[in-house]
Amino acid sequence: MGIVILEETRKAELEEFRRMLLSCAAVHRRKDDDGFGGEENALPDRNGDVLDRMVCVTSGVSYLGIAIVNQLLVNGYSVRIIVDNEEVESLIEAFDGCRGVFHTSAFVDPAGLSGYSNVVKACGVSPSVRNCVLTSSLLTCIWRDNSLDEVSGLIDHKCWSDESVCVNKKLWYALGKLRAEKAAWDIAKETGLKLATICPGLITGSEFYQRSPTSTLAYLKGVQEMYTYGTLATVDIDSLAKAHVAIFQEMKKTASGRYICFDKVIEREDELEKLAGETGISASSITGGASCSNSPRFVLSNAKLSRLMLRTRRCHNE
């Protein structure tokens, strides 16, 4: 199982990236005009030197990649971008001088994890990279055998999906993300790399389905069961990008481990109709004719990330 990125999609990603860069340039020009420009007013890292502001983003022209790059630039980082997966040696060269890496590749083939894992391997042996933030998925937490009595009603960052459940239900996207994240943690443990993983719900935002149709449809495999059990959650692209940057900044202190990230759980009829309209999937296909109120429900918790974001806002205000 694999994925083919259409040439039209790649051109659209590059054009959106060009527009984002122009927008950021305009913002910085306005700051210069207001007397905030110049090297003497560059944004140094609060906990380090200017070198700590150099980072790299994989799949930097993807829907999520562009949003993260934008947030990094707004926060004064210098950003290096990787468009395609590369071999470890090339990645080590690309990471040279970077203190951090944001690994955002969207689609993972469970039968071909090497390209995805290469980034984490390169981070582990890079002389300059200290921290890596990897974008995983909420799907790595929610797919369990819900018929078992010992299954907890709370789903948080400590929960892991069951590979056998993913295989039996043919949830290949979930399985790929699950195996990729586990492989990343194994590599981080072996190399001593400080790693944080973000497990977001379905990524939404302006034209999200048009911009990332393949990953959206792949995520929604099994959507009826997610809706029934209360695990169909979404996160806005800008909120997710801000979470990536906030976690990376806090990794210089104590932040590490896994973080679940979502804005809301789809329950109400109006939320359901909106999602159906945005994806072109009928509401009846999402629900399967079932009512979420008549089924056992699980509680998703993003408390760990919420505490970090609150702490970050307080520090910023101070």
Residues taking part in catalysis = 177
d(CA 134, CA 187): 13
Of 268, 262, 265, the residue nearest 303 (C-alpha): 262
By CB neighbour count within 10 A (0-12 exposed, 13-18 middle, 19+ buried), where does 154 fall? Answer: exposed
- The label of the residue with tokens 């689609």 reads 107
By CB neighbour count within 10 A (0-12 exposed, 13-18 middle, 19+ buried), where does 147 fall? Answer: exposed
Q: What is the dihedral of CA 238, 36, 313, 61, to 10 degrees?
A: 20
Of 154, 157, 156, 134, the residue nearest 146 (C-alpha): 154
Q: Are 108 and 173 in contact (CB under 8 A)?
A: yes
What are the structure tokens assigned to 314, written together? 């307080």
d(CA 151, CA 145): 8
Q: Which residues pair with 235 in a beta bridge?
A: 203
